[in-house]
Structure formats: C-alpha cells, structure tokens
C-alpha cells in the first residue's frame, strides 16, 4: 500500500516520540501488519497511543491491549466486508431497506 504521509512520519520519528491516532484500524488492515508496526516502533524507541481505544504502548498492559485490538480491528474489517457483500448492504441502503 502506498502511504506517503505515513512514510514521511516514519522518516521523521525520533527516540521517545509518540504516534497518536484516533483508532488503531487507521494504521493497518491485518493483525500481522499492526504487530509488525509495533515491533518496528519499539526498536526505534517510539510509543503508540490510540485515543478512542485507550491504548498506550509505553506500558505492558498497553502493549497487550494493542495486540488484542489489532485482532479485533482485522476481524471487524473482515466482518463488515463479508456482511455488506453477502447481504447487498450498499444496494439495500440505496433502496431504503437498511
């Protein structure tokens, strides 16, 4: 995935910086991708915070919650896509059925 703003942010990160987002699912689409990001940031000395999920990877509990939230984010994304395609969500919405 081509993400120029993310690439720019990563190039400017320094030790003890904190990445802040509204929701974890804005960072990646898969659990693997999100966990990989956390490992890379930890190696750089960078922490992560999600405002809506209350995640703070500067703590052990925050790291655990990040990992669990990444699983939920992937599942939610997969569920939404499956549900919409299986039940014609976009079509139904247009017809006022949903």
Spatial neighbors of 24 by CB under 8 A, at least 6 apart, are 34, 50, 53, 55, 66, 69, 70, 73
> Which CATH superfamily includes the segment(s) 4-94?
Resolvase, N-terminal catalytic domain (3.40.50.1390)
Torsion sign, CA atoms 37, 39, 44, 49 = positive
Mean pLDDT (the chain) is 82
Question: Cα separation of 62 and 68, whole Å?
Answer: 10
**Residue range 21-52, pLDDT digits in tens:** 998 888 888 899 899 999 999 999 999 999 99
Highest mean pLDDT among 2-6, 19-23, 25-29, 85-89: 19-23
Look at residue 56 and give its three-state secondary structure.
Answer: strand
Q: Which residues are paired to 50 by β-bridges?
A: 21, 55
Provide the whole-model pTM.
0.69
């Amino acid at each position: 995935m081509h993400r120029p703003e993310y690439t720019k942010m990563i190039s400017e990160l320094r030790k003890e910086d904190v990445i802040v987002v509204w929701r974890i699912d804005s960072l990646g689409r898969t659990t693997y991708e999100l966990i990989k990001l956390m490992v890379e940031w930890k190696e750089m000395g960078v922490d992560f915070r999600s405002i809506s999920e209350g995640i703070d990877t500067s703590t052990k509990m925050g790291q655990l919650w990040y990992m669990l939230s990444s699983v939920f984010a992937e599942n939610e994304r997969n569920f939404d896509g499956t549900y919409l395609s299986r039940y014609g969500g976009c079509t139904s919405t247009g017809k006022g059925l949903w």
